Amino acid sequence: MIRPSLGQQADIAWRAALPVGLTLLLMFAALLSWHLPRLGTIASALVLISVFFWTLHQPGLMSMWGVLSIGLIHDLMTLAPFGVGLLVLLIVHGIALWQRKALNGMPFLLIWGLFGVVAAGATLLTWLLVSFLQEMLVNPAQAFNLFLLELVCYPPLAYVFAWIERRLLPTD
């Protein structure tokens, strides 16, 4: 067996780290001070979409350990009640992994629909947990806005992710 060279190993490593790295990059990019109104919720939406997409398409590269690191960094950066973001992302990862085989080869609209259901559940759970931990009912309109943002952002992001997957990642 031929041992891969250092360059080949580096090439394999960065490709393997791409889904998790890309998710973190998107999160930090969304947190940059863009000076645009109402952009705040987008970081959480991007992270959820990315974790769902990559778990569905490249589960080997979006492992639960990857989700753990993304969730921890997200919760530390965004001042959300600690652990809530992580818990919700883990549950979304678990559902995507569980439904993965059933969705394999299904039309995009169906996958988008399932994502909508998962995102609605995830947003509702986040809202309930945040309200519980804050000991007051958080404005539900904000949670609904987050859900709409996730739903609307999924198709364009999934398109870009699929392009990256075809170009840069090995077939699963």
Partner 1 sequence: MGSIGAAAASRSWTHRFTFVLLVAFAFGLMLIGKPDSVLVSRVRMMMMDITAPVINAVSRPIDAARETASDVRDYFALKAENEALKRQNDTLLEWQRVARELQAENASLRDLLNFQPGPKVSFVTASVVADTSSSFVRSLIVLGGTRAGVAKGQAAVTGSGLAGRVLEVGERSARILLITDINARVPVVAERSRDQAVLAGRNSDLPELLYLSRDSDVKIGDRMVTSGQGGVFPAGLPVGEVVSVTGGHILVQPFVDFSRLENIRLIDYSLPGILLNDLGVDTTKALSPAKAGTITSGASE
Residues 8, 118: Cα–Cα separation, whole Å: 38
**Only segment of 7-15, 76-84, 106-114, 163-171 that touches partner 1 (CB under 8 A):** 76-84
Nearer to partner 1, 4 or 83 (CB): 83
CB of 46 to partner 1, least distance (A): 11
1 is a contact residue toward partner 1 (CB under 8 A): no
What does the H/E/C string look like for 55-69? Answer: HHHCCCCCCHHHHHH
State which of residues 16, 21, 64, 155 lies at the interface with partner 1 (CB under 8 A): 64
The footprint of partner 1 on residues 84-113 (CB under 8 A) is 84, 86-87, 90-91, 94
Amino acid making up residue 149: L
Nearer to partner 1, 120 or 138 (CB): 138
Is-contact 42 72, C-beta < 8 A? no
73 binds partner 1 (CB under 8 A): yes
Q: How far is CA 37 from CA 28, 34, 41, 43, 76, in A?
A: 17, 9, 11, 14, 23
* Residue 21 lies near partner 1 (rule: CB under 8 A): no
